[in-house]
């Protein structure tokens, strides 16, 4: 993917020839300039005199060298909408940036225009991505990964085939809980809830036949010790109770680093793209590797932040992890959040 984009990125930094040309990265620049009030033309991907003039005006106002080129310093001064280039990362709901603007532009060109072209990956953009994926025979998950981005650029249809998720049946017995079933099966509570359309807090009736997603194989469970060690290390680093961090991780993923949710949350701690960006840019201040250990670090750092934000009150911090801090402050703990918190705290005593 990156090799395919290199010529496009180089072209974005070159002066436009006499005849205007199109560049897939340019809509990102136009949206960023429009948000700052310097570009009044259409978002069309054309490097013409209006776009170049807007760049020069912005550079002049920002005290930069005025050359009309969207170089690194100019993009940095444009803020969150000035980075990163399209193709540099997977896009999902919650992302903000230049690449999201390009995504929205390309969706429009493919006939599935989102409601806004503003560099913000909201529900409308997610719905447009799903429509595009369905039309182009791609995995319909609302996440614009490499395959979706490639299809948007090339117009080539995918060859996706639905694959049945490996699972088995389990009949609920007296005394069973989702926690116990997940633990015995090597899966997570969230995975069980998703597979059976169970909402947090629902009562499981004896005799109910559950779909149990395939758990972690014996070969894969060898990595569980590494995950646990990673959780303990970062919990100590960020001053979080390791039992609480382990319980949250088990509730979210069953210690499985490859789990991905429909909204793009992934990994051991089920971190969303927006949360990852916030932790990197605000809480940690440095990029974190997209590895299992990096995922644990981001999740534990965010949990530590929430505990501080809610004055050490674990119930509210856990609810904020699940529901969002703003929602917790405005609405309190929702019923599904209460059930989630109760499960995590019950696990804490055993982790």
Complete DSSP assignment for 247-304: HHHHHHHTT-TT-B-TTS-BTTTTB-HHHHHHIIIIII-S---SSHHHHHHHHHHHHH
* Token reading at 106: 């390309």
pTM: 0.50
pLDDT value at residue 64: 94
pLDDT at 243: 94
Tell me which H or E stretch contains 101.
helix 98-109
Q: List the chain pLDDT tens, one digit each, 351 residues.
A: 333 333 333 333 333 333 333 468 899 999 999 999 999 989 988 878 899 999 999 999 999 999 988 888 999 999 999 999 888 888 998 999 999 999 999 999 888 999 999 999 999 999 999 999 988 888 888 889 888 988 888 887 765 444 444 557 788 887 777 766 776 666 666 677 777 777 656 667 777 888 877 654 443 443 677 888 899 999 999 999 999 999 999 888 878 787 777 667 888 999 988 899 899 989 998 888 888 899 999 999 999 999 999 999 999 999 999 989 999 999 999 888 888 898 889 888 877
Q: What is the pLDDT of residue 223?
A: 60
Rounded CA separation 319/225 (Å): 27
Cα 84 off chain centre by: 15
Give the pLDDT of residue 188: 67
Are 184 and 172 spatial neighbours (Cβ–Cβ below 8 Å)? no
Domains along the sequence of the chain with CATH: 2-154 (1.10.101.10), 167-215 (3.10.350.10), 224-348 (1.10.530.10)
Torsion of the alpha carbons at 45, 99, 77 and 55, rounded to the nearest 10:
0
Calpha distance 302→271 (Å, rounded): 9
Answer yes or no: are the C-beta atoms of 188 and 266 closer than 8 Å: no
> First CA to last CA across the chain, in angstroms?
41
C-alpha 238, offset from chain centre:
23
What is the rounded distance in angstroms from the CA atom of residue 105 to the CA atom of residue 111? Answer: 10
- Give me 193's structure tokens: 């809830």
Residue 163 to residues 160, 167, 184, 214, Cα–Cα distance (Å): 9, 12, 25, 14
* Alpha helices in 136-164, H assignment, sequence order: 146-154
């Amino acid at each position: 993917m990156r090799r395919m984009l290199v010529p496009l990125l180089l072209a974005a930094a070159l002066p436009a020839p006499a005849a205007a040309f199109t560049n897939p990265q340019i809509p990102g620049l136009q949206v960023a300039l429009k948000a700052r009030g310097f570009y009044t033309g259409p978002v069309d991907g054309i490097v013409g005199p209006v776009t170049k003039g807007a760049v020069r005006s912005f550079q002049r106002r920002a005290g930069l060298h005025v050359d009309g080129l969207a170089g690194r310093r100019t993009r940095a001064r444009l803020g969150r909408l000035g980075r990163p280039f399209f193709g540099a990362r997977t896009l999902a709901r919650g992302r903000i940036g230049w690449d999201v603007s390009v995504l929205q532009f390309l969706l429009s060109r493919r006939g599935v225009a989102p409601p806004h072209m503003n560099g913000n990956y909201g529900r409308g953009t997610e719905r447009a991505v799903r429509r595009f994926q369905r039309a182009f025979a791609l995995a319909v998950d609302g996440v614009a990964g490499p395959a979706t981005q490639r299809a948007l650029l090339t117009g080539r249809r995918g060859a996706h085939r639905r694959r049945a998720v490996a699972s088995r049946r389990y009949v609920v017995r007296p005394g069973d809980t989702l926690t116990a079933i997940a633990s015995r099966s090597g899966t997570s509570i969230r995975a069980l809830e998703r597979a059976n359309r169970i909402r947090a807090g629902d009562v499981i009736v004896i005799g109910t036949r559950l779909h149990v997603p395939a758990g972690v194989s014996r070969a894969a469970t060898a990595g569980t010790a590494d995950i646990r060690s990673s959780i303990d290390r970062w919990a100590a680093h960020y001053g979080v109770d390791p039992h609480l961090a382990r319980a949250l991780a088990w509730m979210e993923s069953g210690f499985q680093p490859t789990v991905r949710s429909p909204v793009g949350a992934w990994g051991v701690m089920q971190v969303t793209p927006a949360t990852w960006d916030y932790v990197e840019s605000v809480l940690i201040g440095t990029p974190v590797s997209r590895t299992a250990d990096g995922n644990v670090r981001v999740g534990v750092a965010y949990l530590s932040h929430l505990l501080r934000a809610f004055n050490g009150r674990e119930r509210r911090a856990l609810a904020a992890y699940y529901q969002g801090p703003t929602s917790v402050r405005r609405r309190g703990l929702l019923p599904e959040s209460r059930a989630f918190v109760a499960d995590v705290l019950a696990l804490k005593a055993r982790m």
